[in-house]
Amino acid sequence: MPVILAKTAGFCFGVDRAVKQVYDLLEQGKRVCTLGPIIHNTHLVADLERRGVRTVTSPAEVGEGETLVIRSHGVPASVYAQIEVAGIDWVDATCPFVAKIHQIVRERSEAGDLVLVAGDPDHPEVVGIVGHCPGEVRVFSTAGELRRLAKEGDFSDRPVSMVSQTTFNVALWKEAVAEAEALFPGLSVFSTICSATASRQQEAEALSKESGLMVVVGDRKSSNTAKLREVCEKNCPTILVETADELLQQRGLYAKIIGVTAGASTPACIIKEVLHTMSELQNDVQGEDFSFEEALEESLKPIYTGQRLKGVVTSIAPNEVTVDIGTKHTGFVALSELTNDPNASADDIVKKGDEINVIVLRVNDQEGTVQLSKKRYDAIEGFDKIVKAQEEDAILTGTVTDVIKGGVLVSCYGIKVFVPASLATLRRNDDLNALKGTEAEFKVIEINERRARAIGSIKAVLAERNKAVAEAFWQSVEIGKHYTGTVKSLTSYGAFIDLGGVDGMVHISELSWKRIKHPSEVVKVGDTVEVYVKDVDFENKKISLGYKKTEDNPWAIFQRDYHVGDVIKVQIVSITSFGAFARIIDGVDGLIHISQISNERVEKVADALQVGQEVEVKITEADIDRKRVSLSIRALLDSPKREERDDDYGFSSSENNVVYSTEEADALKESEGE
């Protein structure tokens, strides 16, 4: 006959806070009175009365020298005014959740909203909430009452705000919200059911579905205890007891599974007594020792900053996640403490029902909340993995998240590992910004466990990989072999190409068939290029590479596409005293000798031709080996063919060929780069 105790049975933090405040005042020697019973539990109130605590119904009843405690249910605003006028020494033990509702209804009512309150109109908490509304306010307890209320007036254009008593039935609240959204167009809904109340009701409902019998422990005057009973009765037989003695009076306390829950105003001592009695009943039946008190002790255990816990995700909001950590506290993990990814949402990381590891950041016993962090727990666990990786000389993979002064930060297992600039790339002058946002493999080279910091090296991994690649390269390289590489750097005399762990150089003369002044005219750092091996120096580990292709040789193109006798258009590119050079194609220029410019005598070439001018010429001679081409404009002009003779220019010439003087030949060679 297993007995299962609900995790959140007993005092909620608001009740616990109020009771502790009264007992603390008694310890200080104060004479205490409470404005109404401090909580709805006859036995606890009786204990306080034995200690001298009086219960009063208004501030006017407070005696001289007494300290008045406002109970956790809260009071109307008018009561605070009475206290101030009377000059009474007082302590506000209003539950923070209730105080939050006071603030909401006051602000919305002052703004002109009709305020709707879901709850028992006679309950002190609801009386207090209504007492903070300066404007119109209505109380309802069912969806039917809400519909009748809507018929009383036209609310189509009026703003309406709706809240609930903290202990209101969760299922009824959902029904009321759905109804109100249809009835009031200008509705604003504020979910004010206490998280402890919601958790209790959800747990009680789930437990009652699994149990053959439910035992609800709490005062019959307690609203939240009554709600628990209502929830459980829908699923299985349920009994409500205020004390362990009442449990002994019950009959038929036997079922395959018995579930136990308790109202938020039920002291732990009473729950313990009930569980102890149930253990004795179990022993009578089975003759074995059972202790259900341990479960209660577990839920009451203290928590502290820095404590590592396991929790279960109970709800997910856009900016935070609620976590059940198995104590009376409600745990919250802010989105910023869930992940380091600024673009991630809570839904991307966890789902309702997930078990997660967290670390306690801050405990607020006054409000019964705990601020938790998943990412910091992960960081601690991650740092252990970082330490282990260093011990094993293992390679880790992370994302480069930041480029900072002196290096980069790599995120791995939630830890930011610092990689100095000198260890971030193979070459000291590489741009570190190119690494940002990329995945990088690295080794941990230094650990500071006291400060939980690590230093890594990306270069160490790259060097190892390149060494292996280089060894394989030198074993397979041969002259004429083609490679795809990346331009690594440029100098005035050539370009260095990274072939994948091994560098080779393309001399400037091998970059282009044309004359260039700098390699940057052809390639840029980072370009991917196709090269071939021209020469290998195995002893000094040097590789000469070729880049320009035979099929791109302009003289090969000229030989293929042009022939002596062809008439073509050319562009004048330079002028000398003996003629003009004209561009046939890129890399091939021909000479129009001064004698071949016109039928008439030309005294000065510049008088007949200008740089940039396009003219039609005839190819009269082509010496591919010597890379010389002779062109003629005169050959296209109408004139009688002249016999070869020593003419007025002082050298032998004919229509189809030119014999150059030594001076002219030297100028021609210079123009061709020879």
Catalytically annotated residues: 125
Tokens of 433: 């910004």
Residue 265 known to bind ligand: yes
Residue 123 known to bind ligand: yes
Identify the CA nearest to 500 among candidates 537, 479, 474, 478: 474
The helix/strand/coil state of 609 is coil
Residue 12 known to bind ligand: yes
Read off φ and ψ for residue 423, nearest 5 degrees: -115, 10
DSSP state of 670: H
User: Can you tell me the distance from the alpha carbon of 207 to that of 251, in angstroms, rounded to the nearest whole number?
Assistant: 21
Tokens of 368: 């019964």
Residue 291 known to bind ligand: no
Residue 164 known to bind ligand: no
Distance, first Cα to last Cα, the chain: 106
Residue 132 known to bind ligand: no
Decide: 266 and 5 in contact? Cβ < 8 Å: no
Interstrand relation of 238-241 and 213-217 (parallel, antiparallel or unpaired): parallel
Residue 236 known to bind ligand: no
Tokens of 8: 């959140």
Q: What residues contact residue 485 under an 8 Å CB cut-off, 6+ apart?
A: 497, 498, 499, 500, 504, 528, 529, 531, 545
Please say whether the dihedral angle defined by the alpha carbons of residues 465, 467, 468 and 473, taken in this order, is positive or negative: positive
The helix/strand/coil state of 528 is strand
Residue 269 known to bind ligand: no
Q: What residues contact residue 144 under an 8 Å CB cut-off, 6+ apart?
A: none
Residue 223 known to bind ligand: yes
Read off φ and ψ for residue 66, nearest 5 degrees: -90, 150
Q: What residues contact residue 212 under an 8 Å CB cut-off, 6+ apart?
A: 236, 237, 255, 256, 257, 258
Please write down the HEC assignment for all residues of 345-379.
Answer: CHHHHCCCCCEEEEEEEEEECCCCEEEEEHHHHHH
Decide: 382 and 415 in contact? Cβ < 8 Å: yes
Residue 492 known to bind ligand: no
Decide: 115 and 136 in contact? Cβ < 8 Å: yes
User: Can you tell me the distance from the alpha carbon of 217 to that of 177, in angstroms, rounded to the nearest whole number?
Assistant: 30
Residue 195 known to bind ligand: no
Q: Which residue positions form the known binding site for isopentenyl diphosphate?
A: 40, 73, 123, 222-224, 265
Q: Which residue positions form the known binding site?
A: 12, 40, 73, 95, 123, 166, 194, 222-224, 265
Q: Which residue positions form the known binding site for [4Fe-4S] cluster?
A: 12, 95, 194
